[in-house]
Chains A and B, each alone.
Chain A
Amino acid sequence: MNPNLIALIVVIPLATGVLCALARRSTPLCRFIGLTALLANLGLVLAMLGSLGAGQPMFVSMMGKWAPPFGIAIVFDGLSGTLLAIALTVAVAAYIHSWNLLPRHIEHGWFHPLFHMLILGVNFSFLTGDLFNLFVAFEIMLMASYALMCLGGTRQQMSQAFKYVLLNLVGSTVFVLTAGMIYGVTGTLNYADLARFVAENEGALPTGFQALAVALLFVFCLKAAVFPLWFWLPDTYHTLPSSIGAVFAALLSKVGVYAVLRMYPMAFANPGVDDLELVRTILAILAGVTMVLAILGAVGATNLRRVVAMILIAHVGYLIFGVTMMNAESFAATLHYMAQEMIIIAGLMLCIGLIEQRAGSVDLRELGGLARRYPLLSTMFFLLAMGLVGIPPLSGFYGKAVLLREGASSGAWWLVGATTFTAVLTLVAIARVWITAFWSELKGPLLDLPEGAKAGPDMPLPLAYAGIGLLVGVSLILGFGAERSYSWTQQATASLATPSIYIDGVLDLNPIRDLPDNSTLALIEPDLQHTVTP
């Protein structure tokens, strides 16, 4: 497969965004273009994933044939490919869901173009192999998300949007400053070249490199909503329409986790480099504190959206915990857990949108008895929630079990304790939601009509159910097919435990690196764009 096809993964959403902007007067046309593009993109990602294998760990495309580390590498490997596939699945589900549940006045605005621009930013962040390019991808993603947050323009949205925009602007500015400084001390921004630099200069890292690693961690933790930078997430997510909220919850925070997973084991917290011990310790502390505090918040919250948002944050702690252990098994488990969690969190947010539409509220104090009235919705909610808790045949179990096993064997006992505590409290939080909202008396602003009054038939919402059903299906496949999906994630994360696979994969395209005098352009080989074969 031609590695330059990777560019299409970014170009398709861009073109779709522009087309939807042109066609925004016609909602059906926008929907048609949008869904076709998302499915085409998903198909392309799956086809590329299928042609990755032991003989070909990654596709690398150098834009404009500039050799790395000068040019910008776009890298499609198992890790980014898996996350792209999951992200696009979530996007498809949320998109279909939005056709039924997104208020018309929002959809008629700029929803369609902005949605595809958001996907563009997310895809680009997963694909890029360059730190500054990652900043640009983040900005595209954030710009679209700022605008999506303001669609509708209610008072509450406006004040929350300002908070969200400001925090992310500070984060972006710190990111650009840190990227510039990293360039200043290492002379490169390419991930693979940075990893090579760190490994080669063990014991002699430039002054302040640790500080830069921590500053960059600040940026990613802000995106991923890790303690203490999480406070914006629950507030903003509950002002969003559920279809948009699902995409935000599943994709935006996970992009931050992906950046940590990609760069920290390889470069900024390389386990082979003693100087970076501090960064690893900080990661471990953040993971533990995030999961424990966030899950306590989830148990205490009464708003259903806030419960899911806090559980999401707690589980980001799990993922960071997986990164800190720095071995092949823990990376595989982290990716497996992350993939299924993206699906489940998005599914739960979509379910909550449906509950809000049916019952008129998402406050646990005002809800009750949904299970009897809406058996299908309740079953889907239950399957997703139990997957999140990690009841054995469902998807959350496998990753969690491996994380605990690896934690125990690496001796991180307090983190294992925190993880177990979080798992138990996740069950408590979910059980509380289930008992109050789905069991007990039928209750809800639109449901408990006075005695004698007959409730009108509900509007059928097949597309909203289809969107959630898609996510439930994928989560069940990941759970019941855990043996295969786990061995896939093992293969996909091999380059994290053995960075040389990634480094050689990207840098071997560069024929001028090994030459003694690299001062002429003429030495660059004409064909730099070939696939990597070991």
Chain B
Amino acid sequence: MTLLLGICVAVIFAVSVYLMLSRELKSVAMGVFLFSHAAHLGILAMSGQPVLPGGVVKGAPVLGTSPNGIHVDPLPQALILTSIVISFAIMAFLLTLLVTTFRTTRTLNVDRLSEEDRPESMSHSVSREVTA
């Protein structure tokens, strides 16, 4: 199961990095959302019972050690839950930012956005776009 989760995490990370390298801000935003999902899955894969140096298995907090592995440590799941809530808020903000950016600049293309920043380098970036 851990191996399966590990593979999932790796694939999602790869997809999200691919999306984040795109020139369209929409895809970049999707990449960021996937990135946080991959991180959450990664924490889930790490959870269970921490094995400390010396082979000591640390049990769930508060209840103390549970050597038979009856209780799964709930703390990583609490971390994921908190992090999911935060990433919801950020997702909402990022989408709002996308909409506002589109309204003010009429484009969501990274090249065109940076063109407007530096008018003197406009010819340069236009030629790059053509070759791309």
Contacts and interface: CB of A to CB of B under 8 A. Distances in A.
Contact of B43 (A70, A165, A180, A187): A180
B25 to A, nearest CB: 6
A71 to B, nearest CB: 10
B42 A155 contact: no
Nearest to B41: A177
A455 B80 CA distance: 61
A158 B89 contact: no
Given A155-B116, A162-B97, A187-B50, A180 B58 contact: no
Contacts, number: 117
Interface in B34-48: 35-36, 39-40, 42-43, 46-47
B81 to A, nearest CB: 11
Contacts of A159: 101, 105, 113-114, 116-117
The secondary structure that dominates the B interface is helix
Contacts of B40: 176
Interface residues of A, number: 44
A185 B51 CA distance: 7
B42 A201 contact: no
Contact of B32 (A135, A169, A186): A169
A139 B36 CA distance: 14
Interface stretch (A146-154, A304-312, A410-418): A146-154
A166 interface: yes
A136 interface: yes
Contacts of A166: 20, 28, 32
A158 B39 contact: no
Contact of A204 (B53, B63, B80, B104): B53
B52 A153 contact: no
A177 B97 contact: no
A181 B42 CA distance: 8
Interface in A136-177: 136, 139, 143, 146-147, 150, 153-156, 158-162, 165-166, 169-170, 172-174, 176-177
A357 B114 CA distance: 27
A135 to B, nearest CB: 8
Given A180-B42, A186-B50, 9 more contacts: A155-B105, A162-B25, A166-B32, A176-B40, A181-B42, A183-B76, A186-B52, A201-B52, A519-B63
13 contacts: A136-B82, A159-B101, A159-B116, A166-B20, A173-B32, A173-B35, A176-B39, A177-B39, A177-B42, A180-B46, A180-B76, A180-B80, A183-B46
